[in-house]
Amino acid sequence: TVALVKTKVKDTDDIKSLGKVNSVHKFFGRYITFFVIGQIQTLVTVLGDLFFVGIQCRHPFLFWCASALTSLVFTLLMYSLTAALGNVGQAVAVVIMVIQVAGSGGSYPVDVLPQLFRSLCPFMPFHYGMDMIRETVGGMYGATYLRCALVLLGMCALFTVFGLLVYYPARRL
């Protein structure tokens, strides 16, 4: 989405007619587009998994909640990096996404990965999103679902703060 939809908001007459619009308004106003696209993709994927593929899911609603939260985290990560750092942020976001798939236990168990990936795994959102989804499919184990959800929400806060702090100063560059 960050490759297809512009993250920079231009000061046009339409925006000026709204009154005082600051960088926070611009940041979240444009992010809404990315959020909605991500949630539509999530809904299509979840419904496809449940009704087309026919996965056996013990908690379908929590499966959707976990997927929606994971989508929120990744759209916010990608958008924050791209909005704040432009093309450099977009490249960093793509590298982060590639590392996510390789190093979060998505392809191979984390224990058999090289040490670099094992070190990075606790900092990767994909790891927590997969754990939440695994809980909904295979059954709940303690408070793992809640713990992972709280970590992902914390990452959302971190990415938002990063995006807002860097968004305005980086625009001048």
Span 64-105, pLDDT tens digits: 999 999 999 999 999 988 888 888 888 888 888 888 877 666
pLDDT for 14 beyond 70: no
pLDDT bucket at 3, cuts 50 / 70 / 90: low
CA distance 167 to 148: 28
CA distance 65 to 95: 26
- The pLDDT tens digits of the residues spanning 21-45 come to 777 777 888 889 999 999 999 999 9
Q: What is the pTM of this model?
A: 0.85
pLDDT for 10 beyond 70: no
The CA-based angle 33-36-39, given to 5 degrees, is 150
More confident residue, 46 or 102: 46
Phi first, then psi, for residue 53 (nearest 5°) are -75, -35
More confident residue, 133 or 29: 133
Look at residue 87 in the predicted model and tell me its pLDDT: 80
CA distance 56 to 24: 42
